[in-house]
Structure 1
Amino acid sequence: MATAVIVYAITSYFAGNRSEKISWHNLAQILGLTEPAWPLAFQAVVRPTFLTLTLFLGPLVILFFDSELPGQAAQPLQQVFVALFTLIGFRNYVFAPWTEEYVFRAAMISLLHQAGHSTAFLIFVSPLYFGLAHLHHGWQTYHQMGRTSRALKIAVASSSFQFLYTTLFGWYASFLFLRTGSIWPCVLSHMFCNAMGFPDVSDVPQRSVLQQRVIWSSFAAGIVVFICQLYPWSFVATSQYWLP
């Protein structure tokens, strides 16, 4: 709520200089919190979320072979719901994705856009703050491992990797926000990525030849579909940020 008030105050100040009025409804639209009626809501939320899923087609196939998809033998739905509503599960899969996307996409990008920053800046520079916000995990790792020289090396390596991964996701989420004008595909994609984690292919060479072929083909197919559908599945004509 405090973030919304700050964004409203700053936006209203600059709008006042242009003799424009900013209502709370206008603010909700600027922040991407409102959705158009169906079928535009399908364009703004469902299609971009499925676009994210295509990147994880390979990992999803691995989970299928291991019977670990939600509802399969190793991952019954009851167990999924229990994990989701634990304190840690709620933090990782609901609270963190929502708050981080609200702050780093909705609030930050909307203000930077109002300030006249370029599209390239909004997509490639603003997510650096998102990456930096995760560096504290390295400090935690360093202390948990005993604050030794080895712990420092591991902490630096893991933090660097996490910074790269979160920045790459930030680029993608910023692109989705600008293309759709909605925060919801960013939140849903963030939830999904947190649930999936970074793809682990270490055991693929130990699988049967058939499974290996299916898995690697799925990785390739997912990347191809993602590249081909990146623009078509993220297009919403009513986006106030309309990114061509």
Structure 2
Amino acid sequence: MSSTASHSSSAVSGRQARWQPHNDSRRERIVLAAVELIEQAPAGVEVPIIQIAEYAGLAKSVVYRQFAGRDELDRRIRSEIADRFVADIEDALDIAEGSIHEILVRTIGGVVTWIQDHPRLHEFLRTGPSETDPDIDAMSALIATIAGSTRALVTGLAGVVGVTDEASADTMTFAIVSMTEATVTRWANDPEPALTRDQLIEEVASYAWHVVDGVARRHGLNLDPEQQLTEIITQLVAGN
């Protein structure tokens, strides 16, 4: 490559690097504006790009300079929504406080609250893939992410007492997470649900507990769902 061509290429790279923070900021403004508008939109109504641009205080042409098209923008929006969902649920999964039953109720309650509070965002998650994995729908990717976080927790605790059956942990956590999301979604979409919110949470928590208890017993562990989880871990370590 000639020195002139090399200098030109370096200049272009330099300009791109200088503009990157500006472009990142604009992309974020567009995505956040879209999320707010989707929250406000009636069920099943698509928010047009021109409305997103106006809400973000930008020209429509700017949106198309930042995103290749509507599909790319929608994938980025779904990723933003999924990140918010995961952050809320992971806070509820804190094992430092509560019994197994309390942690299950707290986490399932978090799922119910999020879906109730953000029905349009939850609906939008189900409309296609996310930015992180364009080959699968965003909701499936979200369930896999939450199950992965839960699995890491479960396998970490299991390792403390010498249980290393990661296959069981993987199947168990995915079953619980997918069952919870599907059951809560069905309840939230029912205009006349048979159960109250609190009844639903307790019911789903009991299903989740029976799955956990069944897997634990298969490995010779008898867990008390009402005992503080940190106490259970301490006792298991002492007896290991």
| TM-score of Structure 1 vs Structure 2, range by shorter chain | 0.3 to 0.5
**More relative contact order, 1 or 2 (CA 8 Å, 6+ apart):** 1
Q: For the pair shown, which has the larger CA radius of gyration, 1 or 2?
A: 2
